Structure 1
């Protein structure tokens, strides 16, 4: 059974996916709001272990650093969304979502390149794959508990 927080998160990730696909930009106010909501969720509802929470935040900060070093090879909005998910999910659940997301991204890239729909320089929007990874984790039971 889906939890209310999972439904809300899935709707938000779907909305961010649509925005990422169409405009390739995520509004900063949405990201700030997401950060605040995830922090409030952790403080008042989830109360995740501090080390697991710190690990999730660390992964998000690592992705922000990658965005900075690669001059947005991976966009700041994508990395900031990973940070929000890290605060919301903690380390282990975030890594599960990222594993699925990168797997789906790799499959999509291989298919698009094979069909010559995109060039090697094309940048696929990543948030839709995060949403798919999150959904996959929920449906396979990885988000229980």
Structure 2
């Protein structure tokens, strides 16, 4: 039962942040902080291990690339580390990158909002694979 509630919580945040990313090309830091904070509290209460390295790596890449990768994407992955295992996060990132690259090639665009592709990767990994 708790797993379903967690999954709904993560999916709801991913969908909300996807819409923000498509519309505004930026993510609400308040929503990201709330996602991260509730995940940290949940992990503490349940004794679940958190996974920080994918999010921290993405935040460092955002800084090193002059924000070609947005800080919001790094904060989102950091928040997902409170809810998902390292394997799940890496899988979501890889699927998101493949989908985003494919869409960029098909649409002949170099800059696309990334969170919708992360959301698609999460859905694919959770429900289709």
Q: TM-score, normalised by structure 2?
A: 0.90
Q: TM-score, normalised by structure 1?
A: 0.81
Q: CA RMSD in A?
A: 1.7
Instruction: Name stretches of at least 5 consecutive residues in structure 1 with no aligned partner.
Output: none
Distance 1:35 1:73 in 2: 23
Instruction: Name stretches of at least 5 consecutive residues in structure 2 with no aligned partner.
Output: none
Superposition pairs of residues 8-87 of structure 1, within 5 angstroms = 8-45=9-46, 47-48=47-48, 50=49, 53=50, 56-87=51-82
Distance 1:25 1:37 in 2: 21
Q: Which residue of 2 aligns with 1:134?
A: 122
Deviation digits for residues 29-58 of structure 1, max 9, x if unmatched? 11111110110121123x33x4xx3xx301
What is the SS of the residue equivalent to 2:112?
coil
Shift of 1:90: 2.4
Higher-Rg structure is: 1
Deviation digits for residues 68-126 of structure 1, max 9, x if unmatched? 1111101111111011112211211111111211121121112112xxxx3xxx41111
Give the 4+ runs in structure 1 shifted more than 2 A: none
